Amino acid sequence: PNILLLFQPSHAPETNPIERVWQHFKLGLRWQLPKNLDELRLSMRSKLEEMTQAVIASLVGWNFIREALSVADI
């Protein structure tokens, strides 16, 4: 009815929304060199607080997944 099942390969990072979130974090923290774990935590927390609903939606939204699956011909 209103549910569309999409079967994906067992390892498909391009269709896994959390992978895009991790990539977003890595790009934002790439050039920072924390001296200790506390500095890393502060940087991560700051980056997390910058994420708006619009950013999250763009990273994990349904359109992204549909586009990735269509390119992969799944």
Evaluate whether residue 5 is within a structural domain: no
Task: Work out how many domains the chain is built from and give that number.
Answer: 1
Please tell me the distance from the alpha carbon of residue 15 to that of residue 11, in angstroms, as a whole number: 9
**pLDDT over 80 at 62, yes or no:** no
The mean pLDDT value for 38-55 works out to 92
**pLDDT over 90 at 45, yes or no:** yes
Residue 12: band (very low, low, confident or very high) from pLDDT cuts 50, 70, 90: confident
Output the six-digit token pair for 3. Answer: 């549910």
Q: Provide the residue range defining the domain that includes 49.
A: 41-74
Predicted confidence at residue 57, as pLDDT, reads 84
Evaluate whether residue 46 is within a structural domain: yes
**pLDDT over 80 at 55, yes or no:** yes
Evaluate whether residue 59 is within a structural domain: yes
